[in-house]
Amino acid sequence: ILALALAAPALAQTDAKLALEQAKQRWAQSPHGPMLERLLPPTFEAGELPEPASRGAELLLRYCVQCHNLPNPAMHHAAKWPGIVVRMVLRMRGRGNMGTLMKEMMAGVSSPSDGEARALTAYLRRHAQRPIDAKRYPELELPQGRSFKLACSQCHVLPDPRRHTAGEWRQVVARMQENMQWMNRVVGTRFNPDEPQLRIEEINAFLARYARRE
């Protein structure tokens, strides 16, 4: 039993790589491929999924990489995931908001059953981003917390610093920096000193101050 438990995450990663490779082959053959490939940054790996051997993780790997790179359950807070899953399932079934074009884009894509969609939603909500309680962190309105607030709120709710240890936060922030660089490159924006900037040292310092103790 222990051997099976240890092997499950490795099998999940192998399946995810295979599914993503198949998706990329489909993207390469589709006139809509470049758009699909750019929907999410390619910085989150299957091995980083929480509960990698769970049914929810398996469903995420089976269905969600058909149209874009693997999403991180923590990219949204719990209240937001149900609506997103409903919208994505409709699209996978060719009934999205783009009419005939959506049906063409979803050709060859499998969609989850209603029960699978519920299980996937439950998994995503269980591991969703936990929003910060701003009342507990008055520093958010001070210079030492402002970089964290401005940079991170551009893409999602502000995360609770207690979600990770200081060491884990450094890795998360590094990945977020890659995500932001990737998104900027895709939309073609250029550096603008008037825009909120990702000040790594200030963000890591704020998170380390309130992080979960190791």
- The pLDDT of residue 191: 59
Lowest-pLDDT choice from 70-84, 143-157, 187-201: 187-201
| Per-chain mean pLDDT for the chain | 84
Q: What is the Cβ-side half-sphere exposure of residue 208, based on CA atoms within 13 angstroms?
A: 12
CA distance 110 to 149: 38
Question: Which residues are bridge partners to 129 per DSSP?
Answer: 77
- What tens digit of pLDDT does each residue of 159-184 get? 999 999 999 999 999 998 888 888 76
Within 10 Å of residue 186's Cβ, how many Cβ atoms? 13
Query: What residue segments make up the domains of the chain, in order of their start?
Result: 2-126, 134-210
Cα 145 to chain centroid distance, Å, stands at 24
Name the band, by pLDDT with cuts 50, 70 and 90, for residue 7.
low
- What tens digit of pLDDT does each residue of 13-49 get? 666 677 767 777 777 777 777 777 777 888 898 999 9
- Which residue, among 37, 58, 34, has the nearest Cα to 112 in the 3D structure? 58
- The pLDDT of residue 14: 67
- 193 vs 153 pLDDT, higher one: 153
- What tens digit of pLDDT does each residue of 69-120 get? 899 999 999 999 999 999 999 988 888 776 676 777 777 788 999 999 999 9
Within 10 Å of residue 178's Cβ, how many Cβ atoms? 14
User: Angle at which helices 200-210 and 143-152 pack, to 10 degrees?
Assistant: 100
Residue with tokens 């999602």: 156
